[in-house]
Copies of this chain bind each other. A is one copy, B any other.
Amino acid sequence: MTSPIRVTVWGENFHEQSERDRAGMAERYPDGMHGAIANGLTELLGDSASVQTATQDQPEHGLTEEVVARTDVLTWWGHATHAGVDEAIVDRVHQRVLGGMGLLVLHSAHFSKIFRRLMGTTCSLAWRNSGDTELIWTVNPSHPITAGIPHPIMIEEHEMYGEFFDIPAPEELIFLSTFSSGEVFRSGCCWRRGKGKIFYFSPGDQEYPIYHHPDIKRVLANAVLWAQPERGTGFNPPAVINSPPPHIHTRHVAEGVEA
């Protein structure tokens, strides 16, 4: 039997505490957004995952070397305080992703330091908060992230995220969202960087109870399974090598070349 996937759900934990938002947040997310995400993963993944949370207001943003070293998949939600994230922690997470840790980047974390660093682009987009209905359509129906997902997922009310979304062309495009005013967004996108897999998923604004939506929980659970590192590859990022010639143990090589 394989050991459980070690998931760390990272949250900014700002709106939960801010004077302006805390009442609404407490209603929508009594355990915080990170708590809701963690609960959903635990509910759906059961024994196959071991889920913990970490938040920006903790020492080292809750992402100590020890925590990162025992994380297989990290989920990242941030919005208002991206700028406050310490570059050294971003370095640590970046190295871990390149070494094989999966990363789920959620909603407004398109503007997080870690995502922009992994993408190399502005990661800018169009947005509007006017309670549009969002429909999330599958364009890769045999991809494991879409297992058990309806076509479309419907979110009754949500913030609009629209194109142009300035990202490198997704290596696998999974979901497209439409909004009731007519916009479109590449809302589920996969990339590999180094040995790590990255999934960006746009639903999840703090003003809407998105992370209680059963289909959204299912997408996140599927994405954790997809993003987990290959067993046995270690967590070292690829490194430069001053490489000796390959050892070739027959006479055929030289002969082939001389022919």
Contact = CB atoms under 8 A, between A and B. Distances in A.
A138 B186 CA distance: 11
Given A179-B256, A181-B259, A120 B117 contact: yes
Given A135-B182, A181-B246, A184-B176, A98 B127 contact: no
B184 A137 contact: yes
A44 interface: no
Contact of A233 (B100, B142, B257): B142
A47 interface: no
B256 A181 contact: yes
A254 B246 contact: no
Contact of A253 (B133, B162, B246): B133
Contacts of A237: 122, 124, 166
Nearest to A179: B256
Interface stretch (A33-41, A56-64, A167-175): A167-175
Copies of this chain, tallied across the complex: 4
A156 interface: yes
Nearest to A161: B243
Nearest to A120: B118
A258 interface: yes
Interface in A138-197: 138-144, 147-148, 151-152, 154, 156-157, 160, 162-166, 168-169, 171-173, 176-184, 186, 191-197
* In the A-B complex, the 6 residue pairs with the closest CB atoms: A180-B256, A181-B245, A166-B238, A142-B195, A126-B243, A180-B253
Interface of A: 98, 100, 111, 117-122, 124-128, 130-133, 135, 137-144, 147-148, 151-152, 154, 156-157, 160, 162-166, 168-169, 171-173, 176-184, 186, 191-197, 229-233, 237-246, 248-250, 252-259
25 contacts: A124-B240, A125-B241, A126-B241, A127-B240, A128-B242, A131-B256, A133-B248, A137-B184, A139-B164, A139-B165, A141-B233, A142-B196, A143-B230, A151-B163, A168-B171, A169-B192, A176-B176, A180-B248, A180-B252, A180-B254, A181-B246, A181-B257, A182-B246, A183-B243, A183-B246
Given A128-B245, A133-B250, 9 more contacts: A122-B239, A125-B240, A127-B240, A137-B183, A139-B186, A152-B182, A176-B186, A180-B256, A245-B257
